[in-house]
Amino acid sequence: MSLGAGSMVTLALHGLVAWCYLWYATGGSFRLRGETLDTYDLLADAFLAGQLHLRTAPHPALLATADPYDPEQHRGLALLDASLYNGRYYLYFGPVPALLRAGWKRLTGVAATESAMGALFGVAGCLGFWLLARALQSRVFPGVSDGWLNLAYLCFAIGGVGPYLQARPSIYHEAVVAGTAFTLLGFAFWVRALEKQETRAAGWRLALAGVLFGLGFGSRQTMLAYAASAGLVMLVAAALASSERRRSAVLQLAAFGVPVAGCLALLLWYNHARFDHVAEFGYRYQLTGLKAAVLTIDARVIPRNAWAYALWVPLFLPFYPFQVSHTWSEWLGAQGAAWTMEASFASVLLLAPLAGLAPLAAWLLSPARGTAWPVRAFVVAGGIGVLATLGLVLCLRWVAGRHAHDWLAVATILGSVGLWRLVVASGSRPLARLGCRVLGAVLLLTSVAMGLTLGFNELNIRNPKRAIPVAYAFDSVQAAVLEGTAPGGWQARYLAEDVRRRPFAEGGAQEPERRLPGLFYLDGSTVSLPAPSGGPIARLEMDSAFRSPTQVTAEIGGRAFDTVARPGRHALCLGEPISAGPSSDVAVRLHFPNVPRPGSTLWPIRLRGVSAAPMDDARQVQWSDGTASVEVDLCNHVVSWLIRDRAVGQIFAAIDGGPEQFFGQAAEAAYEAPWIAGVKQVVFRVYAGTDHRRVIATSTLSR
């Protein structure tokens, strides 16, 4: 059977969204490899081992502290964002994504990466949004064209916080997108089931909807509000039903409620089995790097949270990442409590303006409209769920874009209904129809532009390795275009202070005055970099977007140094340190012998700065029994290790004779360790497995 034009457009849109999500999740590389410690995978391994606590054992020094939950006391010892209880690590995140990972790992023997799972749940959530929006449109506004449905779909999928959630593959975002995906799919089956008058036809759909809702709040606890509101609507409907319909309504309520109740009972048992209380998810025992990072309800923050979510406007730039924001904290009173707004962030009215039309969906509740019962039921249940989750989010002392997703998804569905209502009300009046088209275009362009650039900002902050080539791609294209259209002025705009201090591939959440230069090297220019305060210049730090090692000659303080710029972040260690002289700045010029000039006047090198001498030795490698290796690159402040049999291990560091501190966990990894420059001695030990017992590699470095 051939596909019609409408179906082809729908498939193309779904393909576009999937491509977009994979691009953000992998930083444009489309390689679904995990490069960092995957916390959900640790929980999946625990489930496969038949236990609820992580197989990673807390460090004895952590358990010996007076208060292991104090960030100052557990610094370097704790597995951050785990919950510590009775000497064991647990996770306060919903268990459903870990259960799915465990099943996949048992079937295939391969671990699912954070980028793969985030993209999968993200695309599933977009599919759930489209199915639900399609069901509502066909039942209330059959005369509204599919173009308006596609507009709403793109406003949600590519606008809003969708790209932002994908740009940071992590347990924080995976739980959010998983919970939203299951909830939207649950609503889609729920709406379709309610229109079935015959109990058996509706029963399996309602049971499936109940399971999906259960998986939703099993991934993200706040999604429980939607399951509860849907059940409440069905309960009230059963109580008000006529005697002929009451039995059918009660059976439908049971078909939906039993799976929901079963999932809730399992979640409560999961809590009790871990923390000895059915209502304890582990937040009280959370280990964080900041006291302010603990998710705490505080009514004092409601006004400032409402202001942030409604009115916060980021700084816009003409160059990548196009919008920027930094993490901002304020202390509340004298109790030591802090309110924090996490970068990347922007007003939801800019990210998802379509959600602002959600109140118009209440028009469908009027008895005079004759709206179908399933649609009215969704408007009520969805509205209650949005208000409940929004109320909870407004009480949290931590403001973040991912928290907004708890209510933005359903609010955008309700806003779509409100928009379609305006389209129908415009009738055949030309001016009214034109006004609707203009409104739709503004909603779409605003959502997509804000959503994509918020995703760029998050990618820039959280994934610096991938942000470097992405930033160069944007900058070089813009430079090539501007050279042809404004050859006399574009360089001055590129070198302006706001662009030079843009958050770029590191510290993007910091205040502007603390950021390193964010420019690629302009051909033939001289770059002034602040001289180090700790001694003569020994390192030139740079980021390279070259695809292969490339010869570079650097002139520093009038002296030339040859180096090879490798892709990614590294430093040129000078053979002989040089003095910065009386000036507080150091002049640097670059030359690229035997390298073809790029398409624009920008070279794919970003100069991060110059610094003083690191430890005396440039590099040291030590093997132990041929089973593992530790390699420390002192010039670039990178510690890497490899376990020969590819089994997972843990690496600990003992600094200046102090206790061991947890550094990382993987079979093979390379982590930046800028603190190496300031220590006299550090001992790295690699332990087999996660029980912290057998040392298989050691590396000792001393000044």
pLDDT tens digits, 522-558 = 888 888 887 777 667 777 888 888 888 888 888 887 7
Alpha-carbon span 554 to 546, nearest angstrom: 16
pLDDT of residue 616: 47
Q: Tell me if 97 sits within 8 A of 124, measured CB to CB.
A: no
Q: Is the pLDDT of residue 677 over 70?
A: no
* Tokens at 30, concatenated: 């489309």
| 693-696 contact pairs (CB < 8 A, 24+) | 695/624, 696/624, 696/625, 696/627, 696/628, 696/643, 696/649
* pLDDT tens digits for range 588-611: 888 888 787 776 688 888 888 887
Q: 661 by DSSP, 3-state: which?
A: strand
Alpha-carbon span 285 to 74, nearest angstrom: 13
Residue appearing with tokens 């059918």: 248
Q: Is the pLDDT of residue 629 over 90?
A: no
Alpha-carbon span 208 to 181, nearest angstrom: 14
C-alpha count within 13 angstroms, C-beta hemisphere, residue 463: 29
Alpha-carbon span 118 to 125, nearest angstrom: 10
Confidence band, pLDDT 50/70/90 cuts, at residue 230: very high
Q: For the purposes of burial, counting CB atoms within 10 Å of the CB of 326, is it exposed (0-12), middle (13-18) or buried (19 or more)? A: buried
Confidence band, pLDDT 50/70/90 cuts, at residue 619: very low
* Tokens at 470, concatenated: 């992405």
Q: Tell me if 362 sits within 8 A of 382, measured CB to CB.
A: no
- DSSP H helical segments within 559-637, as ranges? none
* pLDDT tens digits for range 13-43: 999 999 999 999 998 888 876 555 578 989 9
Please name the residues in contact with 72: beta carbons below 8 A apart, sequence gap of 6 or more.
none
Phi and psi torsions of 687, nearest 5° = -105, 140
Q: For the purposes of burial, counting CB atoms within 10 Å of the CB of 225, is it exposed (0-12), middle (13-18) or buried (19 or more)? A: buried
* pLDDT tens digits for range 423-467: 988 888 889 899 999 999 999 999 999 999 999 999 888 887 788
Q: For the purposes of burial, counting CB atoms within 10 Å of the CB of 698, is it exposed (0-12), middle (13-18) or buried (19 or more)? A: middle
Confidence band, pLDDT 50/70/90 cuts, at residue 336: low
**Percentage of the chain modeled with pLDDT above 90:** 39
CA 180 to chain CA mean position, Å: 14
Q: 275 by DSSP, 3-state: which?
A: helix
Phi and psi torsions of 64, nearest 5° = -85, -10
Higher pLDDT, 517 or 321: 321
* Tokens at 687, concatenated: 């332990």
Going by C-alpha positions, the residue among 258, 295, 421 that lies closest to residue 354 is: 421
